[in-house]
Structures are given as structure tokens and as C-alpha cells.
Amino acid sequence: MADPTEPAAAADGEAAAGATAVEKPRGPRRIGVLLVVAVLAFLIDLGSKLLVVARLENHAAIKVVGDVVTLQVIRNSGAAFGMGQALTVVFTMIASAVIVVIWRIARRLYSLPWALALGLLLGGALGNLTDRLFRAPGVFRGHVVDFISVQHFAVFNLADSAIVCGGILVVLLSFKGSNPDGTVHHQAGKGDGGDRAGKGDRDDRGGQGGETGK
């Protein structure tokens, strides 16, 4: 009499192989996309800062949406949106560390959405780090140029916007279970649950078949 557990074992092996195949990264690495997004974000931020410093600094604010949104140059020694004014050197080191971490992740980057998110983060971090390094009052202590003022909120720049957008995208991708290497980490758990349920059904059928044979 055939062993009823043999088909179940074979099915389990096929399911495990399928789960393994799902977890393998697919497609080309997305370092090129990350770099293009980062360079674009950096250049747009840099160009906007050079323009507003040349045209707006020491001038009256320009109203964009009444008094709600205006353009005015503010030299910021703190982090994004003017936070931590006394920690300029600390934020410079944090920005440098973020850039190193992103570059390490990029070596196993296969996901296009993750490439876009990390590119925005990298471009924004580089934009503000450039100010820290090359603007007055000195290296590592330079003040970041902010110029977009929202009433009752903050004054920020395009690098801050890129960092925020990239951060929100990272949170959404993580919530969905997407990984930078192109895998989806919750799929394996779902597959295991399905395999266990299927195995239980097969065991029940095998037990019923044995009782019928008796």
C-alpha cells in the first residue's frame, strides 16, 4: 500500500522551492536610477539656493500664496526645518553617516521604488551637507540656506523636501514589506502558513483513507 505521506512530502518540497524562488532578487541592480535621482535632486537644490542667495538675500520676502507661502532667505545652523540650531557639527556628521549607509545599501539594490526613495534621501543629504562644508561660518559649521517659508510651520529648502519625500516613501515600502534587494519579506510567512494549512488537509485526507482501508 502506498504511503500517503509521500505526495505530501513532494508537495511540501515544491512549495519550499517556490518560496525560495520568490525571495531571490530579480532584474538588474538599480544603482544607476539611484544616482540619477540623487544628482537631479542635488543639482535642483544647489541651483535654487544659488539663485535665491543672488536675488533674494537682504531683500523683502516675495509672496507666493499671500502671506501663507513666501520666499525669503534664512541661514539655518540646525537640521531640517530649523530644528537643533546649536548642533551644526552633529548634523553634519549624521548627514555624512546617512550617505555612507545609503551607498552600502546600493550594492544590493534591485528595487526601483527603493532606488527612487534612496536617491531622494541621498540628493537631499548631499545638498544640505554641501552647505555645511562650504558656506560660512566654516567647514562642518556652515549654515544651510532655507528660503521656502510656510506660515505657522517652518522655513525649508528643496533638499529638505527631497529628504522628507524619500523618508515617507521608505516608510511606505517598509510597511508593504518591500526590501531594497527586490524581495518582499512577508511573502515567505504567508507561504509557510499556506503550506501548513495544505499539509494539514493532506494529513486529514490520508487519515481518512487509512480508516476506510481498515
Tell me the catalytic residues.
Answer: 146, 160
b vs e for 93-121, b when ≥16 Cβ sit within 10 Å of the residue's Cβ? eebeebbeebeeebeebbbebbbbbbbbb
Angstrom CA distances, 156 to 26, 90, 147, 162, 189, stand at 38, 19, 6, 11, 42
For the record, the C-alpha cell of 206 comes out as: 490520508
Beta-carbon contacts of 121 under 8 Å, excluding residues fewer than 6 positions away, are 98, 102, 162, 163, 166, 167, 170
